[in-house]
Structures are given as C-alpha cells and as structure tokens.
Structure 1
Amino acid sequence: MTVTPTLSRRVFTRMNMMLSPIAFSITLDDHRTVSQALRPLPGDRILCLASAGDTPLNLLMHDPSEVVAVDLARPQLHLTALKVAAVAALERADLEHFLGVRGPGRDPAGTRLAIYEVLRGDLTAAAREFWDGHPGMIRRGVLWQGAVQRMAPFGSPLVRLGRVLHGRPWSVAANPYLLPLLCRRMPRTDLLPPYLAPRTNPAVRSRTGLIRLVHGEVRDVLRDDPGFDCVALSNVADWLSPEQVDDLLTDVAVGTRGNARVLIWSRRRRMRPARPLPSAFTAHPALQRQLRRRDRIGYLRTVLVLRRREYP
C-alpha cells in the first residue's frame, strides 16, 4: 500500500526524527476502548499494531493463542521487543524501574544499563544493535524517549484549555493517558496499563511468548497469514485515502474468521470509506458512539467497530 503523507504529516515525521528514532514510547490507545470493542475470548488469535508495545502486551490479559504485532517502523518493533523482554524477565519493581515508570531519569545508581545487559540476550540481533547504539535512552527510562513524549508537554496548556471548553476537567491527574503525555508522569498504581498493573501483570508476564513481531504492512499479514479473531488497527486510517481504507477493509474480511471483531479509528479526520462496507461486516453504531465518548484520550473523530458475519 503506497501512502503519500500530507504536508503536516511530513513535517511531523521530520520533527520526530530530529528528536528521537522512536515516535511513540507510550502507546496512545486506551486499552479499555480496545478491549471493549474487540471483546477478546480465550484462545483468540489477535492482530494489532506494535506501536510502543503496550497494546500487544495489554491484550495478553485476555489469554489469546497468539498476538501478532505488526509495524512498518523498525524502531517501534525494537521498543516493543525490549518491553516484552523486560516484562518476561523482571519482577514488577524492577520492571517499573527499568522502564522509568516513576519518571524520566531517576536512575542515580545507574542500574538500568546493567539490567539491559541481562535482557539483551533475549532480543533479536537487530534489536540488540539498536539498543546497544542508544544507551542514553535506556539510562533515562525508555518510556519517555519517544518524540511525541518529548514534544507533547509543550502543548499542555492548550490541551487543558480545550478540555475545559469541551466541558471536561482541567486536571489530568486521574487520566492514565493524558497524565504521562502532558506531564511526563505515570498515573497512580491502580490506573497503570494492564501489563504494569499489579493485578494483571502476572498473567501478562506468563504469556509474553505468545507475541510475534512482524515488520511490514498490515495488509500483507492479513493476506499471507489469515485466520484472525480480533483485529485492532488503531488510527491507521489517518494515513490512508478513503479508497485505501476500502482496500484495507477488504483484506480484513479475507484475513479474519467468522464472528471476528475489528476496531479501527481516526484521530485527524472523520473516516469515510469511499464505498459501502464489505458485505462480510456488520457495524455497531451504538457501541461506536459509546466508545468514542468514553475514550480517555478524548480526541477520536471516528470509531469503527465491525463484526465479521458467520457464514455457513
């Protein structure tokens, strides 16, 4: 799929590259939105974007048979691989310290690099080469090394004002996504994402071997490795024309089983496919409206929740 980014996207991408090789170090997908849309069942086979690794890790709490995490950006896959290795090997206290859960920096004893030396043997050669070349990112806590995580706090006053104008609270202290994005602080323990939360971390930790990382296009995975029960495509539609969204949905129909659940959303614009939905899908408008209203990041323009029909 050939995508020509808009001028604003090209400028945004260039700024990302200047600040960090990693665009996102914390995934900006509300895990409640993903879980409520997909309703994963034990044994389901799930396809999602790798992004910063949070979504594939969080989905492990549903006891899938496999989570295939795909991304075109190799640094995002290397970050995901490092997070997966850390979750698998470290107890929660060490995991929080290594990732930087309690804030950027804050490694007076310099132990993060020592922990990385233990983890690097579990990484692929490509991921090891990447992280060996970026020790400073590990020293400062990888959660905070994404370009978006570095830029976003400068826009905090405008975001807070926008929240007030839309009838939302000024404070983001209880918001587990806006707090790290705007204030560079993770939320209190009971609001941590599932892969870090005390209640769900043990289950996630025991299933890290179920994640498979793929470098490439989502459409290629759907065509070449079909049979998914859940597909979470985040805001991939923001990069696509309406015609390309149609082509993607056609491939999703090919790559999923009967009764599969699909989630795709748009942050930048209202998503309008050029053609009607493929006949294989039914949409859920009421659930779409509910998820858009309750999403804790609060800037989704369109949410599309689809179920694949079960054919005899």
Structure 2
Amino acid sequence: MASLPNRKIAAAVVREDGEQKQRLLDRAFALAFKGLVYAQIWEDPVVDMEALAIKPGNRIATIASGGCNVFSYLTADPAEIIAVDLNTAHVALNNLKRVAIQRLPDHGSLHRFFADADNEANIADYRAFVRPHLDETSRRYWEGRDLIGRRRINGFAHGLYKRGLLGSFIGLAHLVARIHRIDPREFLAAKTIEEQRAIFEAKFAPFFDRKFIRWITDQRSSLFGLGIPPAQYDALADGKPMADVLRARLAKLTCDFPLEDNYFAWQAFGRGYGKGAAASLPPYLQADNYDAVRARAERVTMLHANMTDMLAAADAASFDRYIFLDAQDWMSDAQLTALWSEVTRTARPGARVLFRTAAEPSLLPGRLSDDLLKRWDYRAADSLDYTRRDRSAIYGGVHLYILKD
C-alpha cells in the first residue's frame, strides 16, 4: 500500500478516468515524485515579484517546491507566507532553509550551505546551529538515508544540486551528451550572448536531431526527471515532437539571457551555482538581502498539504497573493474549479494569482465556469512579457490574474 504522502501525490496526478496505460504512467510518476525532486525551484523569482507586486502586510499562499522563491519573496516584506507542498522532502527542505537562515551565524555560512552546498564545513554547521532547532520530522528526513544508502544531509558536503530527481536527470543528460561528444560545461566559458548563441547552434541544436534522442524524448516517462507527469507532457508537446519542443526551450535558456545573470543556466550546464562574489543567485542568497530575509524568515509557515484544502480551511478574504507554479497542468476540470472557488472566496480586493503552464496559453478559459472566470482580469500583455523574461525558460506561459473590483 502506498504511504500517505504518496497517496496525496497520487490523488493529484493520477487520472482515474484514463485508460489503463495512462493510469500506470501516472502512478509511476507519483512514485518517482515521492522523494526530493527539486533542490532548487525552476521559476524565476524576479519575474514573480514584479508580477505579484507584493506589498508590506500582504499574505501569500504559494506552493513551496525547493523553497528558493518562498524565501526570496521575503525581500518584499509580506506579513506572512503560507507555503504548501505534497512532497515531504520539499517540506523538509523548506524547514531546513528557514532554520538555517535564522540560525547560521552569518551570510558567509549561509552562502556556503546553500549556494556552494559542497563543503564538509556545512555538516558541522548543521550539527551546531541548525539541528537543535529543526523539527523532529525534518531532522529524521535529513539524517536518514536515500535509496542508495547516503545520508541526505551529506548532500550539502558533496553537491546538493547534483541530487534529487532533477539533479539526477541533469546528470544523466550530461552523460548522454558526453557519449555524443558534447560537453555541456563548455557553455559556461561563453563571455557574450553571441558566444552563447554560437555554442548552442554548433553543439546543442544538432543534438536534438539524433534518432536516439528523438525516440527517447517521445516516451512520456522520459521527462519524469524534470518533474513533468504524463498529463503535463502532453500539454508541453502540444502535438509536436518533444525533441523540437525541448530544443526551443533550451535555445531560450542559452541564447536569450547573459550567462552571468542567469543562475538557471548555471544549474543546467554546471550542476550548481557559479562561484565567486559575482555569481548569479536567487534573491534570498544575495548578500544585500541577507539581513531582511533573516529577520523575516519566521513569517514563513510550511505545511504538508494540498493548496485547495489549505485554502478551504482559511477565512474568507484572507490572502492577497497566490502562486501555483505549474501545478494546474496536472489538474482535472473539477480540481481546477475547486481550487479557484476557494481562491475567489479567500481573495482580498486586488488579489493577484500567478501560475505557469507547459503550453503557451492560459489553461483556464473553457475549463472554469464563466461565472467564476469573470471575477478575474487576465493580464494578457503583461503575461506575455513575463513569459519572455522568465530566465528558467522551461515554461510556455507565465500567467497573471487580478481580482476585479
């Protein structure tokens, strides 16, 4: 029998009305999603904060994932952030981040712990400063062992961003590339946008024309390592060969943003953040934000819960901002209606909702009732601009809705 956490994930992703093969793939994804998936979140927090226009005193409801954005939102001075996640490993990671931000002695130790994440000194700091203040469930997780017997906390001594489902997927992609005589790390030597484009066109674009790559990426299970379930795979492909879709998304990641300003590219090609004081980092790890993030970390509440259930238990008109990441790509029409009914009930005047989709258009028209959807103003032009400027480059669309007066 599946564990409780896995049942929650299965309830979110398994399409029980689908064909048997479809249900089997959905259940396989639910099993893969049970462990740590994202050591780093793959939504751009700079775009998020511009779209959300967070104001002091706002209450925020968000899906947590790897937590980088949760703690980055603190730089905008919200009153409270309720972060939820169905994945117990993500809950443990966010709890670890909150305590580490509060308890590590200075910015240097915080930077070493989460930006470098590859130093034995982090384990000593964990024992001295973090462990005594960590909740028991999270402590058991980090001091437990993964599937191959490694203590999870030791990931911070040997390269956290090489672990988890996504980290392993990127490692496998690097291996496949090297087998085809392509070294992804060569991209990190680029000094200009022009050099980045030249490397992409010469090295990476032809890679997606190889028969093996086209065959493997046509399998719905091939993108489990990106945290993409079968239902989202179909939305991402949108009737096109997946190799072509992935090539287009990689082109944006490699060619549209300067490498020195894009830590997502460093994660993809270097399997970690860049080194040195000038390295691109999420806002919560930047030195200029350290004091504010540390002082406000107690405003984050982390829950192992479904977003809809959390909102159903909340008071009416009690939230100002909502962030759903790409979770709605997984949802049925009934689940979408339940979620947006609770969002509309709990939204304060001027509330904003931000989410991403694998495909380009918003998925809400035609799936929510007109009575529910007409309560919200879709900012189409702004959404296109946010999509263009999202440095992670994974998603087809970034979408902003604002509650009408």
- TM-score w.r.t. the length of structure 2 is 0.68
Change (3 A) 1:211 1:199: same
SS at match of 2:320: strand
SS at match of 1:177: helix
Match of 2:169 among 135, 151, 170: 151
Contact 1:238/1:269 (<8 A) preserved: no
| Percent pairwise identity | 24
Residue 203 of structure 1 is matched in structure 2 by 292
Residue 230 of structure 1 is matched in structure 2 by 321
Residue 158 of structure 2 is matched in structure 1 by 140
SS at match of 2:166: helix
Match of 1:93 among 86, 108, 114: 108
Residue identity matched to 1:64? P
2:122 matches 1:115:
no
| CA-CA distance at 1:269 after TM superposition | 7.2
Equivalent residue pairs, number: 302
The 2-side partners of 1:30 and 1:16 are apart by 22
Residue 246 of structure 1 is matched in structure 2 by 337
Match of 1:303 among 371, 393, 398: 398
The 2-side partners of 1:150 and 1:51 are apart by 17
Change (3 A) 1:16 1:137: farther
- Structure 2 residue runs of 5 or longer lacking an equivalent are 1-7, 16-21, 145-151, 178-183, 185-199, 206-246
Match of 2:267 among 162, 170, 180: 180
Q: Greater helix percent: which structure?
A: 2
Change (3 A) 1:247 1:299: same
2:377 matches 1:282:
yes
| CA-CA distance at 1:166 after TM superposition | 6.1
Change (3 A) 1:287 1:268: closer
- TM-score w.r.t. the length of structure 1 is 0.87
Change (3 A) 1:166 1:135: closer
Change (3 A) 1:287 1:248: same
| CA-CA distance at 1:84 after TM superposition | 1.2
- Structure 1 residue runs of 5 or longer lacking an equivalent are none
Contact 2:44/2:391 (<8 A) preserved: yes
Residue identity matched to 1:281? W
Which protein is bigger by CA-based radius of gyration? 2
Contact 1:153/1:181 (<8 A) preserved: no
CA RMSD of aligned residues (A): 2.7
Listed as ranges, the matches of 1:28-177 within 5 Å are 28-90=42-104, 91-99=106-114, 101-102=115-116, 105=118, 107=119, 110-117=120-127, 118-133=129-144, 134-155=152-173, 160-161=204-205, 162=247, 169=255, 173-174=259-260, 175-177=262-264
The 2-side partners of 1:141 and 1:193 are apart by 17
